[in-house]
Amino acid sequence: MNTVTSHHDSIHEARGAKSIMHASNISHAFDYTLFENVDINIHQKETIAVLGVSGSGKSTLLHILATLLKPQHGEVIYDKGFMYEQGDKKLLDIRRHDIGIIFQSHYLFKGFTVKENLEISSMISGNSIDMDLIKKLKIEDTLHQNVSELSGGQQQRVSIARVLLKKPKLIFADEPTGNLDRQTANEVMDVMLEFVELNNAGLFIVTHDEKVASRCNSAYRLQDKRLLPVRL
């Protein structure tokens, strides 16, 4: 069985960190089998990176963990329940309140200002806009600009702010630093890693960037339909 038991599991367990999500024996195919018998355990304060060539199934795996796609085989256990065996309403609830998803391309409401985009998120979650977070992401001067006037990097930082304002228990980020320069990528990682630490959250990040991956507790490569641990 292609089970991956990260040595970091034991580190997080030894620290008494609770498991937030456990995916076991996950397999999925579209035109071809993407991966088989993948096992992932995400603990509080744990950060996991997944590398892999384009088409290897990284986004598909992220979607499966993030409530968006039921796997063809295997189970995702969240909050003591089988995630995809709960009703649509409960799944939507988990997605809305507990899961923060940062996509490759940012889904901001074009034609609205940065502040309005953030207000939509704070309205849905009931959390107020955290100005510290806005400052850390260096978007405090953009609040009254229309999002379509911003650079790609600025838009990505707004979409990260929008997700973190929800205070999710798990962050799923799909190549979040792909269109950022090195320094901005590092700053965005700083913000996400600090969020995870302060909020007892977990982070699962798909990236092409080994420097980004090396800042996580563990890194894997999706290759030959398996999740192989890599040392960076």
Ligand X SMILES: Nc1ncnc2c1ncn2[C@@H]1O[C@H](COP(=O)(O)OP(=O)(O)O)[C@@H](O)[C@H]1O
Q: In the complex, which residues of this chain contact ligand X (CB under 6 A)? A: 30, 34, 52, 54-60
**Please, what is the minimum distance in Å from the beta carbon of residue 174 to Mg ion?**
6
CA 155 – CA 213 distance, rounded (Å): 22
Torsion angle defined by CA atoms of residues 189, 193, 194 and 197, in that order, rounded to the nearest 10 degrees: 180
What does 153 interact with, of ligand X, Mg ion, none (CB < 5 to 8 A by kind)? none
**Closer of 113 and 223 to ligand X (Cβ):** 223
Of the ranges 19-27, 45-53, 55-63, 125-133, which one interacts with Mg ion (CB under 5 A)? 55-63
**CB 29 to ligand X: min, Å:** 9
Position 217 contacts Mg ion (CB under 5 A) = no
Of 58 and 162, which CB lies nearer to ligand X in the complex structure?
58
Q: What are the structure tokens assigned to 46, written together?
A: 């744990």
Q: What share of the chain is helix, strand, coil (3-state, %, to 5)?
A: 40, 25, 35
CA pair distance 206, 203, nearest whole angstrom: 10
Find, among 21, 166, 35, the residue nearest to 80 by Cα: 21
| Contact string 59-98 vs Mg ion (x = CB under 5 A) | x---------------------------------------
Question: Residue 80 binds what, of ligand X, Mg ion, none (CB under 5 to 8 Å, by partner type)?
Answer: none
- Residue with smaller CB distance to Mg ion, 59 or 154: 59
H/E stretch holding 92 = helix 88-97
Pairing of strands 202-206, 218-223: unpaired
Binding site for Mg ion (CB under 5 A): 59
